Chain A
Amino acid sequence: MMSWPFRIIGFLFWYAKEFITSNVTVTAEVLRPRRRAKMRPAIVAVPAASRSDSEWTMISSLITLTPGTLTITISKEHKILYVHGMFVENRGQLVAEIQEMEDRMLRAMRRAPGDLTRPTELPVVRPMDEAGESR
């Protein structure tokens, strides 16, 4: 495992590559005629390993920043990111994609990444409202 500053630089390069490829895919999808569309949108609940508020903010912003994936809402108490993906063949593919990004981000953000294991699927729950904001 590389030392911490190198992990940050490595993550930035990896993210820049992801950013550009996803921009190209989404742009190509818009330009493609409707009958040959490859679009397979889905909304998936992705279990997350983030703990602090700054990690939650970073991971949801990074997901939204790559076009094609979009964080719709999060549930911190259940550790779930609700992610809308534009090109999703099956549930596992999007979960793997998002969890890979989170793994890389946490290894770049934390000096000692610690244990990053989490399930790929959690039971269905209702995301709670933020404190004091019930309808």
Chain B
Amino acid sequence: MISEWTLEVALILLAIGMVIAAVRGLLGPRTMDRAVAADLIFFATIGFVALIGLRTNIEALFDIILIATLLGFMAALSMARLGSGGRR
């Protein structure tokens, strides 16, 4: 079927996007630039989970996606707290 190799291509493209964002995260230069890059990597991870779930036909795919989207902003919030030195 079409989805056999296209999903693999999609995974590779997503991995490229994650690597680009990771390089920005490594270069910085400031804490908040790294936080923005980490945020993007997290969104790519949601895509990764969705694609791997489709590839392996797991039952709980949408439950995983739902929890990832519900709790994803926690990472951004804690990085923001970290970067601002605890000030809100």
A-B contacts counted at CB < 8 A amount to: 5
Determine the interface band of chain A, counting residues with CB < 8 A from chain B: under 10
Residues of chain B lying within 8 A (CB to CB) of residue A130: 88
Q: How far is the CA of A129 from the CA of B87 in the complex (A)?
A: 9
Determine the interface band of chain B, counting residues with CB < 8 A from chain A: under 10
Residues of chain A lying within 8 A (CB to CB) of residue B88: 130, 133
Residues of chain A lying within 8 A (CB to CB) of residue B87: 129, 133, 135
Q: How far is the CA of A13 from the CA of B88 in the complex (A)?
A: 34
**Least CB distance, B27 to chain A, in whole angstroms:** 18
Residues of chain B lying within 8 A (CB to CB) of residue A135: 87
Residues of chain B lying within 8 A (CB to CB) of residue A133: 87-88
Q: Mark B52-88, 1 if CB is under 8 A from A, else 0.
A: 0000000000000000000000000000000000011
> Which residue of chain A has its CB nearest to the CB of B85?
A135
Q: How far is the CA of A129 from the CA of B88 in the complex (A)?
A: 8
Interface residues of B (CB under 8 A from A): 87-88
